């Protein structure tokens, strides 16, 4: 198992290194000079040069890159060009909101997907299958911004029962009931496409498990359908479902940018949007790198969980 994980590390690290170089280079291509933003229009050439030197922008490209990489690796993320605060503080504040939002959405999507897929396969009703397949296709066809807009329209404008945006004023811990009201719409919005993809895949995987010879054997000895689904088909379908969830998780980050914009949720998605329009290099670079790092780690975790659930990989050490 450990060897299996270690075997995946070099390519993951290589991908991260290449991504960091690409990101750093991309940010140097962005038109406009951050010195302009900082120094203001009336700054003297000497003042501008001083700012440039202070930020290290007068160094050659590779020197700046190595310098930045060293800082990132030692978690010295520097100061924001525009807001002025420490990048790490900005990140920490946004990360809390985004993590709460995405984890709630993920929990919602996984629970609902398990419930709908298992119910459909256990019940074996034609009308239920058709209904769920229909809802599923429509959910897949709803872009995140459309879902969000519709949710706000229905639950905050036409029938004003939930807040249309923002984070709970008392935080997530002090008043969990109020926090839940604020979380419900954005988390649902983020969960819809994940639920749709996962439940569609899981239903299909469960059905294909039910066609396996071992299920025929179980039926022959008189095991009930519900029991076969829950104790035989589901455990066998889970490993590949985890892989699908891993892929879905990647789209969750992109979705968070939209959901945070619609629901004015001050998380990492809003931060990257604002940082790019303000040409705040230090913030943008770290956020882009973070998104790739999350992708790489998700892939690793997905592989590990997949291996852990699938004894053929866990014991064999190779797949």
Partner 1 sequence: MRAALATPKGVAGLVLVGGIVLLGVLGPLLAPYSPTQQVPGANLVGPSAAHWLGTDDVNRDVLSRTLAGIRVDLLVVFLAVPAGAALGMLVGLVTSWWKVTDVLTQRVFDLVLAFPTLILAIALAAVIGPGTTTIVLVVVAIEVPVFGRLVRTSLRTVREMPYVEAAQVVGARPWWLLRRHVLPNSLEPLTVQLALSMSVAVFIEGAMSFLGIGVKAPDPSLGSLLKDGTRLMYDAPFLSLGPLLVVVLLVLGLLLLAQSLSEAHRD
Q: State the minimum distance, in angstroms, from the CB of residue 272 to partner 1.
A: 6
105 makes contact with partner 1 (CB under 8 A): no
Q: State the minimum distance, in angstroms, from the CB of residue 261 to partner 1.
A: 6
Q: Which of 100, 253, 271, 283 binds partner 1 (CB under 8 A)?
A: 253
131 makes contact with partner 1 (CB under 8 A): no
Q: State the minimum distance, in angstroms, from the CB of residue 220 to partner 1.
A: 28
Q: State the minimum distance, in angstroms, from the CB of residue 177 to partner 1.
A: 26
**Count of other CB atoms within 10 angstroms of residue 257:** 18
Q: Which of 107-115, 166-174, 184-192, 283-291 is the region at the interface with partner 1 (rule: CB under 8 A)?
A: 283-291
Distance CA(264)–CA(165), nearest Å, equals 5
245 makes contact with partner 1 (CB under 8 A): no
**Count of other CB atoms within 10 angstroms of residue 224:** 10
9 makes contact with partner 1 (CB under 8 A): no
Q: What is the dihedral of CA 121, 123, 124, 128, to 10 degrees?
A: -100
Q: State the minimum distance, in angstroms, from the CB of residue 156 to partner 1.
A: 8
In the 8-state DSSP scheme, what is residue 31? Answer: S
271 makes contact with partner 1 (CB under 8 A): no
In the shown chain, the binding pattern of residues 19 to 58 toward partner 1, with x for contact by CB under 8 A and - for none, equals x--xx--x--xxx---------------------------
Q: State the minimum distance, in angstroms, from the CB of residue 217 to partner 1.
A: 26
7 makes contact with partner 1 (CB under 8 A): no
* Sign of torsion over alpha carbons 117, 122, 124, 128: negative
102 makes contact with partner 1 (CB under 8 A): no
Distance CA(309)–CA(236), nearest Å, equals 9
Distance CA(278)–CA(270), nearest Å, equals 12
140 makes contact with partner 1 (CB under 8 A): yes
The residue (of 24 and 232) whose beta carbon lies closer to partner 1 is: 24
Which helix (H) or strand (E) covers residue 242, if one does? helix 234-262
Size of residue set near partner 1 by CB under 8 A: 45
72 makes contact with partner 1 (CB under 8 A): no
Confirm if 206 and 117 have CB atoms less than 8 A apart: yes
Q: Please, which residues have CB within 8 angstroms of residue 262's CB and are 6 or more apart in sequence? A: 145, 148, 149, 152, 165, 186, 189
In the shown chain, the binding pattern of residues 157 to 196 toward partner 1, with x for contact by CB under 8 A and - for none, equals xx-----x--------------------------------
Distance CA(198)–CA(113), nearest Å, equals 6
The residue (of 12 and 309) whose beta carbon lies closer to partner 1 is: 12
Bridge partners, residue 291, by sequence = none
In the 8-state DSSP scheme, what is residue 2? Answer: H
Confirm if 275 and 283 have CB atoms less than 8 A apart: yes
Distance CA(209)–CA(236), nearest Å, equals 7
- Which residues of this protein are in contact with partner 1, per CB under 8 A? 14-15, 18-19, 22-23, 26, 29-31, 137-138, 140-146, 149-150, 152-153, 157-158, 164, 250-251, 253-255, 257-258, 261-262, 272-273, 276, 279, 284, 288, 291-292, 295-296
């Amino acid at each position: 198992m450990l060897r299996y994980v270690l075997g995946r590390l070099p390519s993951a690290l290589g991908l991260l290194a290449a991504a960091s170089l690409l990101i750093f280079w991309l940010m140097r291509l962005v038109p406009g000079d951050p010195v302009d933003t900082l120094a203001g229009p009336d700054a003297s050439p000497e003042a501008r040069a001083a700012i440039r030197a202070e930020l290290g922008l007068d160094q050659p490209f590779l020197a700046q890159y190595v310098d930045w990489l060293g800082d990132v690796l030692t978690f010295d993320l520097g100061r924001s060009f525009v807001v002025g605060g420490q990048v790490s503080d900005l990140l920490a504040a946004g990360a809390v909101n985004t993590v709460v939002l995405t984890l709630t959405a993920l929990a919602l999507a996984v629970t609902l997907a398990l419930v709908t897929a298992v119910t459909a396969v256990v019940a074996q009703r034609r009308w239920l299958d058709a209904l769920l397949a229909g809802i599923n296709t429509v959910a897949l066809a709803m872009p995140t911004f459309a879902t969000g807009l519709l949710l706000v329209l229905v639950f905050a404008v036409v029938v004003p029962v939930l807040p249309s945006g923002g984070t709970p004023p008392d935080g997530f811990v002090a008043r969990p009931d109020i926090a839940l009201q604020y979380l419900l719409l954005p988390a649902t919005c983020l969960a819809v496409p994940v639920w749709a993809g996962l439940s569609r895949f899981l239903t299909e995987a469960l059905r294909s498990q039910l066609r396996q010879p071992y299920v025929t054997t179980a039926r022959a000895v008189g095991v009930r359908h519900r029991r076969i689904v829950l104790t035989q088909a589901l455990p066998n379908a889970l490993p590949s479902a985890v892989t699908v969830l891993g892929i879905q998780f990647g789209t969750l980050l992109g979705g968070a940018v939209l959901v945070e914009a619609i629901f004015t949720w001050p998380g990492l998605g809003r931060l990257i949007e604002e940082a790019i329009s303000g040409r705040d290099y230090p913030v943008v670079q770290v956020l882009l790198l973070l998104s790739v790092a999350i992708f790489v780690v998700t892939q690793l975790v997905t592989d590990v969980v997949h291996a852990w659930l699938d004894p053929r990989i866990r014991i064999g050490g190779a797949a």
